[in-house]
């Protein structure tokens, strides 16, 4: 079995561990909705009256 690697002291890790012990872990990140993706879901142009009439005529 190989010899265990010596752990080097890290100030950053020590400070973060101390902060987590005192305050608690940070909340998980929330994904914000992308406004560009929402705009892409909508049609670029409104349907014309002729298109609406033709579509409703096909349904009946």
- Domain assignment present for residue 52? The answer is yes
60 pLDDT band (50/70/90 cuts)?
A: low
Closest CA to 50 of 58, 41, 42, 40: 58
Q: Look at the pTM and tell me if it is higher than 0.75.
A: no
State mean pLDDT over 31-60.
78
Query: Residue 41's domain spans which residues?
Result: 35-60
19 pLDDT band (50/70/90 cuts)?
A: very high
- Domain assignment present for residue 30? The answer is no
Task: Name the domain count of the chain.
Answer: 1
First to last CA, the chain: 79
Greater confidence (3 vs 58) lies with 3
């Amino acid at each position: 079995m190989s010899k265990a690697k010596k752990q080097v002291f890290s100030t950053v890790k020590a400070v973060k561990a101390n902060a987590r012990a005192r305050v608690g872990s940070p909340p998980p990140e929330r994904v914000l909705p992308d406004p560009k993706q929402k705009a892409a879901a909508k049609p670029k142009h409104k349907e014309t009256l002729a298109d609406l009439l033709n579509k409703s005529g096909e349904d009946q």
